């Protein structure tokens, strides 16, 4: 590990320029040990407050330092946003969730193995170096939103559920603002090293959830092991049925794109309709029309179809 200086911040509004934020450290410290990230200075935000889940307007404000385990077990989250609680509990391990934070989870880096191996070419680690994953082992890579420069997927479960809940990210810095989570992440294009709309000197202060959507909520994650593994494919769903028809539905997909993947055309095709196998099959067709496998992850296309179909059956047959 390279030498670095360490500063502890008192508030999120006076972060030193040029320093890399450390929150729970569960991802950043691994990256530093592998010398994938070599910051000269760390700023620790763990004592800046921002560790509360608060009712805000009709929704919820989740501070950036709220630990994943505290968020998963929060009574309001469990009762009104169960898809979020389920997604959190499907991630990592109990010990990791005790350290991992809301801001750090959103900002965690990809699990592309070539990104972690500094002997391999990686445009995300070293812009312009090339992409060793192309033509390599692509089991956990993306099928949507890739570019010729990067085919990595985003690893967060929490972000997928938040995306289906229409969450917004509160950014603090020279231009404090709120950004829909769906627009917070950038697709790789020709700059896979720039992953979000965060500018230098900015930090995530909180995540806002709108008023509870109600209905039936599900998070289904398919992975290589029953626990302690990242998603190959995941589906977050929030569905409201009225008189046997789908009144509203929000869907987000994990493990398949460089960001939590949302496709409004799929939701539109389902809205107002009576659930049926043919309807679900049509929804999967629309979703997969944009998909492209990389070879080693071609299995994700039929897997995503089956997972989406299973979740649609589940949310439309269950009682709210
Ligand atoms: C073995 C293992 C298994 C895992 N399995 C899963 C899994 O199945 N599903 C899943 O979703 N995750 C999984 N994780 C990832 C884990 O959830 C993340 O490591 C964790 O959420 C990161 O949070 P942190 O607070 O520790 O972030 P840190 O490691 O402190 O930071 C991560 C990144 O976020 C930046 N950052 C942190 N806070 C902020 C902020 N407020 N504003 C701006 N930038 C910020 C840091 O600069 C850094 O780049 C796993 C991790 C490990 C080690
Ligand atoms: S897929 Fe992205 S992260 Fe992986 S090696 Fe290629 S550029 Fe790097």
- How does pLDDT run across 195-238, given as a tens digit for each residue? 999 999 999 999 999 999 999 999 999 999 988 899 999 999 99
Mean pLDDT of 114-137: 97
- How does pLDDT run across 31-42, given as a tens digit for each residue? 999 999 999 999
The reply to whether 9 falls in a domain is yes
Query: Cα 314 from chain centroid?
Result: 22
Atom of ligand 2 nearest to the CA of 141: 1
CA dihedral 282, 287, 291, 296 (to 10 degrees): -80
Q: What is the rounded distance in angstroms from the CA atom of residue 169 to the CA atom of residue 275?
A: 33
The DSSP code for 307 is H
What is the layout of strands, in order, in the sheet containing 216-222? 216-222, 233-242, 245-254
The reply to whether 35 falls in a domain is yes
The reply to whether 118 falls in a domain is no
Range of the domain at 33: 5-46
Token readout for 241 is 């049925």
**For residue 247, what is the domain's CATH number?**
3.30.390.50
Three-state DSSP string of 70-123: HHHHCHHHHHHCHHHHHHHHCCCCHHHHHHCEHHHHHHCCCCCHHHHCCCCCEC
| pLDDT bucket at 319, cuts 50 / 70 / 90 | low
The reply to whether 38 falls in a domain is yes
The reply to whether 244 falls in a domain is yes
Q: To test ligand 1's pocket by mutation, which of 100, 111, 198 has the most ligand atoms within 8 angstroms of CB?
A: 100
- How does pLDDT run across 167-188, given as a tens digit for each residue? 999 999 999 999 999 999 999 9
Protein residues whose CB sits closer than 6 Å to any atom of ligand 1: 20-28, 45, 64, 91-92, 96, 99-101, 103-105, 107-108, 155-158, 203-204, 230
The reply to whether 272 falls in a domain is yes
The reply to whether 111 falls in a domain is no
Q: How far is the CA of 296 from the centre of ligand 2 (A)?
A: 14
| pLDDT bucket at 103, cuts 50 / 70 / 90 | very high
Token readout for 186 is 């950038």
The share of the chain scoring above pLDDT 90, in percent, equals: 97
Residue whose CA is at the smallest distance from ligand 1 atom 45? 104
**Are the CB atoms for 155 and 110 separated by under 8 Å?**
yes
Q: What's the number of domains the chain is made of?
A: 2
Per-state percent for the chain, helix, strand, coil, to nearest 5: 30, 20, 50
Residue 62, burial from CB neighbour count under 10 angstroms (0-12, 13-18, 19+) = buried
Is the pTM higher than 0.95? yes
Mean pLDDT of 58-65: 97
The pairing of strands 20-22 and 41-44 is parallel
């Amino acid at each position: 590990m390279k030498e670095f200086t360490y500063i502890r911040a008192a508030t999120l509004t006076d972060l030193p320029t040029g320093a890399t934020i450390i929150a729970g450290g569960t991802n950043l410290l691994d990256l530093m040990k592998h010398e994938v990230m070599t910051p000269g200075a760390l700023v620790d935000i763990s004592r800046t407050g921002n560790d509360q889940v608060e009712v805000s307007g009709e929704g919820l404000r989740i501070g950036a330092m709220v630990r994943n385990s505290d968020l998963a077990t929060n009574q309001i989250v469990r009762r009104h946003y169960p898809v979020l609680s389920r997604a959190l509990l499907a991630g990592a391990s109990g010990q990791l969730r005790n350290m991992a934070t809301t801001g750090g989870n959103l900002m965690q880096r990809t699990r592309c193995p070539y990104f972690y191996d500094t002997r391999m070419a990686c445009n995300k680690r070293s812009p312009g170096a090339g992409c060793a994953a192309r033509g390599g082992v692509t089991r956990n890579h993306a099928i949507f939103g890739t570019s010729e420069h990067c085919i990595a997927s985003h690893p967060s479960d929490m972000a997928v559920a938040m995306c289906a809940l229409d969450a917004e990210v509160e950014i603090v810095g020279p231009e404090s603002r709120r950004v829909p989570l769906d627009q917070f992440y950038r697709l790789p294009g020709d700059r896979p090293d720039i992953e979000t709309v965060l500018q230098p000197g900015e930090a995530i202060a909180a995540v806002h959830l709108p008023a509870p959507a109600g209905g039936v909520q599900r998070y289904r994650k398919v992975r290589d092991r029953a626990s302690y593994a990242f998603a190959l494919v995941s589906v977050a769903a929030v569905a409201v049925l009225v008189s046997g028809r789908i009144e509203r539905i929000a869907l987000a997909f994990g493990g398949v794109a460089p960001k939590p993947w949302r496709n409004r055309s799929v939701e539109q095709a389902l809205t107002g309709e009576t659930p049926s196998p043919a309807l679900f099959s049509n929804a999967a067709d629309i979703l997969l029309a944009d998909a492209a496998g990389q070879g080693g992850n071609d299995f994700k296309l039929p897997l995503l179809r089956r997972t989406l179909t299973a979740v649609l059956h589940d949310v439309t047959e269950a009682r709210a």
